[in-house]
Chains A and B, each alone.
Chain A
Amino acid sequence: QQQVRQSPQSLTVWEGETAILNCSYEDSTFDYFPWYWQFPRESPALLIAIRPVSNKKEDGRFTIFFNKREKKLSLHITDSQPGDSATYFCAASDPGTQVVGQLTFGRGTRLQVYA
C-alpha cells in the first residue's frame, strides 16, 4: 500500500502558467514533507519542504499548500518555465524513525513546460 501518493503522473503546461502537483499521505504521524526534483539524467535534489505547523511554505515561484486535516499537500509552480521541466517527488518522514533518510517517496509527477 502506497503511503505517499502523487497525482497526476504527468503534467504538461505552457510557459507562464501555474502548474499544480498533488500529494496525499496515509500516516498521520508524518511530520516533514520535502519535495525533491530530478532533471533528466540527473540525481534528485531538495526543492522545498514543509512541516505541519505551517499550512503554506513559499520559495520564489514555488509554494507548498498543506492541509493536515485531509492529509493532502500540493506544490504550485507559478509562471512556469521550460527549465522547470523535471520529475517532482513528494516525500514524507516519520519522526519515530529517527533516521532522516527514511523518507517515504511518492512515485513522482513528470512536469513538462512548453515554451
Chain B
Amino acid sequence: EAAVTQSPRSKVAVTGGKVTLSCHQTNNHDYMYWYRQDTGHGLRLIHYSYVADSTEKGDIPDGYKASRPSQENFSLILELASLSQTAVYFCASSDRGSSGNTLYFGEGSRLIVV
C-alpha cells in the first residue's frame, strides 16, 4: 500500500488560476518535500517542511506556496498558475535524521497549465 499519496494525479489548469496539489503520507515521517520534474532537468526542490505548521523554501520557491497543517499532510499551492509551471510534481517524505536517509516519493501529479 502506497505510503505517500498525491492528489490530483493529473490536472489541467487555466493561466492565472489557483492550483492546490495535496500530499498525504502514512510513513510517520517528520520531513516532507515538494519536487518539480521537467524533462531534462531532473528533480528540483520547491518547498519542504520538517514540522507541522512550518514550511521552508527550497531551491525554486518563486510562484509557489506550501502548507503543512499536520504531520501527514503537505500541500503545494500555485496562487496564479503560469505556463512555465507545467510539469510533474512529486511529493516525498523522509525520516528525521542526518544526511543519508531515503526519500520516499509519491506517484506524482502531472500539471498542465493552458
B31 near A105 with CB under 8 A, answer no
Number of interface residues of A (CB under 8 A): 27
| Contact A99/B48 with A43-B90, A44-B90, A46-B102 known, Cβ cut-off 8 Å | yes
B92 near A101 with CB under 8 A, answer yes
A8 on interface, CB distance cutoff 8 Å = no
Contact-residue size bin, chain B (C-beta under 8 Å from the other chain): 20 to 34
15 A-B pairs within 8 Å (CB atoms) are namely A9-B40, A34-B102, A43-B90, A43-B106, A44-B43, A51-B100, A89-B43, A97-B99, A98-B99, A99-B31, A99-B56, A100-B94, A100-B103, A101-B48, A101-B103
Q: A44 touches which one: B50, B101, B105 (CB < 8 A)?
A: B105
Least Cβ distance of B22 to chain A in Å? 16
**Chain A residues positioned under 8 Å from B41 (CB to CB):** 107
B103 near A46 with CB under 8 A, answer yes
| Contact A43/B105 with A101-B94, A102-B48, A105-B44 known, Cβ cut-off 8 Å | yes
A99 near B105 with CB under 8 A, answer no
**Chain B residues positioned under 8 Å from A102 (CB to CB):** 45, 48, 58
B42 near A32 with CB under 8 A, answer no
Chain A CB within 10 Å, residue with most, of B48, B50, B98, B99: B99
Least Cβ distance of B7 to chain A in Å? 14
Contact with B along A59-93 (1 / 0, CB 8 A): 00000000000000000000000000000010001
A32 near B99 with CB under 8 A, answer yes
**Complex: how many Å from CA A97 to CA B33?**
14
**Chain A residues positioned under 8 Å from B102 (CB to CB):** 34, 46
**Chain A residues positioned under 8 Å from B98 (CB to CB):** 95, 98, 100
| Contact A100/B44 with A43-B90, A43-B106 known, Cβ cut-off 8 Å | no
